[in-house]
A and B are shown apart, each in its own frame.
Chain A
């Protein structure tokens, strides 16, 4: 049943959701393996911090600032052979996430958990042994939450670390994946898809990887899946999403460094010799 014939039959009382379901699109018009639009700004808060970045994935906006490497305030925290990473994830008061009312934003256990996960993720990527007895402080502000808070935070943190000039093994890119009600895999879920609607509990798997090394650094899932095979499928889809995000992040970094070169050298424009990455997934 083609679209035109369906339209003729339905007349003018056609809903957007009908159109979407006809063409197998999701509720925001994306295909099942399409990630949301990513916009980045590197170096937003330039004066006080070592590095900062804002990342928008669709409508989710996250700001990350990095300070360091600095001396540890508490001597008992410092490690003799490497640096420690201290992460704090905060949500802005004007950015509530759904109907979850947080009693105390500083001690909300979900935020503490996400801070901890972010810290462990970054520990796998940062070359900590270069800065013994120091601390790298990362603060993440969630300014708008439309699903995918943790992946957006990881992406923003990576860019902020690059801006601060801290050496990394590889950039960390993150994306989420899940299973739709029809059974196919979806990439980069928004808030509506993350929460369970229609009685069907959603499958939501955020995943972070190091793209050039091809290794996974973080993957979490708390939904009930049929079997390990399904889990592997979702993980593969998430990794594809991460690779797509990686291309965007790399393009953003190159652009930013090009503009810094321009500012330093005073030229109007800079011809850079390395190839431009493609933006398609």
Chain B
């Protein structure tokens, strides 16, 4: 349809459209690609025709969301995914979840782009905003092309089975909203978009769901409390695109030359010169997922097959890189979760939170799900963490018993004994009481012990320097554990100070630091979380059981 071009302002002249490519530049690029003047194919950035640009993946994850930013040379694309629970769309498909893909191309990406609302797979409002008239047709086509490419490879190509997103048949299914934003257009948007989407899908963890009996909205259990599960992807297809540059130019199209130059991963300039393009998507097992040879250029079948073989090699390399980045990012996410739990335990006195994270309103959207905001997550996790601790307490009972019987760990228990002689309190072995004591100390020091408290601190400070060498080992251990730096000062003068109630929490923390380094060898983060949670409570238990055991 011919839309009326109503220009109400003078648009800035863009330098990256195909109409502004000069003839000299065009000829230069074409000659390089067809190796007309030299023995091999020359590209402007010095790559060989089968080489992909430098790839950088940046992955991050938070509760019920994941994000990936891909930088492929100059091209930068960011993909994000968020999950929602909702009733299924239609009655004749009660088991199928929904994957909604959105592609956003706006002037941030390139000076040749105009303002355009994002294209999405789920049908939105029908009427178009009026500023669509300033958008170039080629931009609409490009957005559509990327959207269809992603839809075909993710939904139609058998990557993600929507039936696996069902929570309760006929009642609740997952809706995954995958949104792809083009940040910089440096050529080859299809490959980068697919790479970003697949990385995000792999990195995302679906939180566990607790069903509510009376048919209300199910509760999402926070990812810090219970381990979320990855999406059930059948395979991970990645794609490689070629720019095809035909030897016979349009002006000489009657010539019978069939030389075609094929360049892998074209830059923006190469894309403007290309006659046609081929894209092939495969997974790491050399299974073809999607083939897209969109015409524009005629190819002999043997040439097409040559392209495919080259694409296969490139894709295998890409898959390796993706796997490495994913593994790294996964480890990083686990470390962050550990860190959040540690922080949580240092500040347990936070205001009580509502039971459920989302109110019982259907289709309620959480706005700030994309950021890793440690304060936010701490506030949400306190309730669930306490539940997790209760579970972990049973485990640490056994663990402590096993540990106490091990004689090679004697030096640890000896240290505990050393510091314990100052506290020959008959503290009852109830961790609840100790927790209350902890809280009371941290909040407001009781007035009658105030002077003692101050005196204790002064003594500690004074003894800081002479005791430095004695407690050097302890300090070194504390510096190993992250986030424990604030404990170094008060725990230094520990060994020789007189006992007082106020030193109980501080000594607890020093032993805790030693404990953590013993029990968390930093390889297995899964157990580390539970160990951490248990180790915090363990001190109180150990102290109490130690006092019990001593005659």
Could you tell me which A residues sit within 8 Å of B by CB distance?
73-74, 76-77, 79, 81-82, 88, 103-104, 106-107, 109-110, 112-113, 116-117, 119-125, 127-129, 169, 201, 205, 208, 210, 213-228, 230-232, 235-236, 239
| Nearest chain A residue, comparing its CB with the CB of B119 | A109
Residue B318 interfacial (CB < 8 Å): no
Chain A hits for B235, CB < 8 A: 224
A224–B295 contact, CB under 8 A?
no
Residue B339 interfacial (CB < 8 Å): no
A-B contact sample (13 more), CB < 8 A, given A88-B1, A117-B294 = A104-B126, A106-B1, A113-B145, A121-B296, A129-B251, A205-B291, A216-B293, A218-B294, A222-B153, A222-B157, A225-B288, A227-B287, A230-B288
Q: Given the interface contacts A106-B1, A120-B296, A129-B251, does A231 sit within 8 Å of B308 by beta carbon?
A: yes
Interface core residue of B19, B157, B289, B291 (most chain A CB under 10 Å): B291
Q: Which of B297-305, B330-338, B479-487 contacts A (4 or more CB under 8 A)?
A: B297-305
Query: CB < 8 Å: which of A73, A123, A215, A219 contacts B300?
Result: A215
Query: CB < 8 Å: which of B121, B298, B309 contacts A216?
Result: B298
Within 8 A of A (CB), among B1-48: 1-2, 5, 19
What are 11 residue pairs bridging A and B, where the CB atoms are less than 8 Å apart in the complex?
Answer: A73-B2, A103-B123, A104-B123, A106-B1, A116-B144, A123-B295, A124-B295, A216-B300, A216-B301, A235-B304, A236-B301
| Nearest chain A residue, comparing its CB with the CB of B120 | A109
- Measured CA separation A68–B188 after assembly (Å): 33
B291–A215 contact, CB under 8 A?
no
Residue B286 interfacial (CB < 8 Å): yes
B299–A116 contact, CB under 8 A?
no
Query: CB < 8 Å: which of B2, B144, B286 contacts A112?
Result: B144
Q: Given the interface contacts A106-B1, A129-B251, A228-B309, does A217 sit within 8 Å of B291 by beta carbon?
A: no
B1–A224 contact, CB under 8 A?
no
Chain A hits for B50, CB < 8 A: none
- Measured CA separation A120–B298 after assembly (Å): 10
- Measured CA separation A227–B294 after assembly (Å): 21
Chain B hits for A224, CB < 8 A: 157-158, 235, 287-289
- Measured CA separation A120–B297 after assembly (Å): 8
Chain B hits for A76, CB < 8 A: 5, 19
B158–A213 contact, CB under 8 A?
no
Q: Given the interface contacts A103-B126, A216-B304, does A124 sit within 8 Å of B297 by beta carbon?
A: yes
Q: Given the interface contacts A214-B300, A216-B299, does A231 sit within 8 Å of B294 by beta carbon?
A: no
B141–A228 contact, CB under 8 A?
no
Chain B hits for A169, CB < 8 A: 253-254
Residue B147 interfacial (CB < 8 Å): yes
- Measured CA separation A104–B297 after assembly (Å): 31
- Measured CA separation A88–B137 after assembly (Å): 13
A218–B1 contact, CB under 8 A?
no
- Measured CA separation A216–B298 after assembly (Å): 6
Q: Given the interface contacts A74-B2, A227-B287, does A215 sit within 8 Å of B251 by beta carbon?
A: no
Chain B hits for A128, CB < 8 A: 250, 253
B298–A213 contact, CB under 8 A?
yes
B145–A223 contact, CB under 8 A?
no
- Measured CA separation A232–B309 after assembly (Å): 11
Report the minimal beta-carbon distance from B367 to chain A, rounded to whole angstroms: 27
* Total of A-B residue pairs, C-beta within 8 Å: 135
Interface core residue of B1, B5, B301 (most chain A CB under 10 Å): B301
A217–B250 contact, CB under 8 A?
no
Could you tell me which B residues sit within 8 Å of A by CB distance?
1-2, 5, 19, 119, 121, 123, 126, 128, 137, 140-141, 144-145, 147-148, 152-153, 156-158, 235, 250-251, 253-254, 258, 276, 286-301, 304-305, 308-309, 312
B5–A74 contact, CB under 8 A?
yes
| Nearest chain B residue, comparing its CB with the CB of A230 | B288
B293–A219 contact, CB under 8 A?
yes
Report the minimal beta-carbon distance from B305 to chain A, rounded to whole angstroms: 6
| Nearest chain B residue, comparing its CB with the CB of A208 | B295
Query: CB < 8 Å: which of B147, B298, B301 contacts A124?
Result: B298
B309–A223 contact, CB under 8 A?
no
Interface core residue of B289, B293, B295 (most chain A CB under 10 Å): B295
A113–B5 contact, CB under 8 A?
no
State the 4 A-B residue pairs at the shortest beta-carbon distance, nearest first.
A120-B295, A215-B298, A121-B295, A222-B152
Chain A hits for B121, CB < 8 A: 109
- Measured CA separation A116–B276 after assembly (Å): 12
| Nearest chain A residue, comparing its CB with the CB of B159 | A224
Report the minimal beta-carbon distance from B547 to chain A, rounded to whole angstroms: 65
Query: CB < 8 Å: which of A73, A110, A119, A218 contacts B293?
Result: A218
| Nearest chain B residue, comparing its CB with the CB of A169 | B253
Report the minimal beta-carbon distance from B383 to chain A, rounded to whole angstroms: 43
Report the minimal beta-carbon distance from B535 to chain A, rounded to whole angstroms: 48
Report the minimal beta-carbon distance from A136 to chain B, rounded to whole angstroms: 14
Q: Given the interface contacts A222-B157, A224-B289, A230-B288, does A123 sit within 8 Å of B253 by beta carbon?
A: no
Chain A hits for B152, CB < 8 A: 222
Chain A hits for B296, CB < 8 A: 120-121, 123-124
| Nearest chain B residue, comparing its CB with the CB of A101 | B123
Interface core residue of B119, B293, B305 (most chain A CB under 10 Å): B293
Report the minimal beta-carbon distance from A181 to chain B, rounded to whole angstroms: 15
Query: CB < 8 Å: which of A109, A117, A227, A235 contacts B295?
Result: A117
- Measured CA separation A218–B297 after assembly (Å): 9
Interface core residue of B148, B253, B298 (most chain A CB under 10 Å): B298
B145–A116 contact, CB under 8 A?
yes
Chain A hits for B158, CB < 8 A: 201, 223-224
| Nearest chain A residue, comparing its CB with the CB of B147 | A109
- Measured CA separation A74–B1 after assembly (Å): 12
- Measured CA separation A225–B158 after assembly (Å): 10
- Measured CA separation A1–B219 after assembly (Å): 60
Chain A hits for B119, CB < 8 A: 109
Interface core residue of A73, A103, A113, A119 (most chain B CB under 10 Å): A113
Q: Given the interface contacts A227-B286, A228-B288, does A113 sit within 8 Å of B297 by beta carbon?
A: no
Report the minimal beta-carbon distance from A26 to chain B, rounded to whole angstroms: 22
A109–B1 contact, CB under 8 A?
no
A221–B290 contact, CB under 8 A?
yes
Chain B hits for A125, CB < 8 A: 298
Chain B hits for A227, CB < 8 A: 286-288
- Measured CA separation A122–B288 after assembly (Å): 27
Report the minimal beta-carbon distance from A127 to chain B, rounded to whole angstroms: 6
Query: CB < 8 Å: which of A77, A120, A221 contacts B276?
Result: A120
Chain B hits for A127, CB < 8 A: 253-254
Chain B hits for A228, CB < 8 A: 286, 288, 305, 308-309, 312
Chain B hits for A216, CB < 8 A: 293, 298-301, 304
- Measured CA separation A225–B19 after assembly (Å): 39
- Measured CA separation A18–B538 after assembly (Å): 72
Chain B hits for A214, CB < 8 A: 300-301
Chain B hits for A221, CB < 8 A: 288, 290-291
B287–A226 contact, CB under 8 A?
yes
Chain B hits for A110, CB < 8 A: 148
- Measured CA separation A216–B123 after assembly (Å): 35
| Nearest chain A residue, comparing its CB with the CB of B293 | A219
Chain A hits for B148, CB < 8 A: 109-110, 113
Query: CB < 8 Å: which of B137, B287, B298 contacts A210?
Result: B298
Chain A hits for B153, CB < 8 A: 222
A220–B250 contact, CB under 8 A?
no
Query: CB < 8 Å: which of B144, B156, B254 contacts A113?
Result: B144
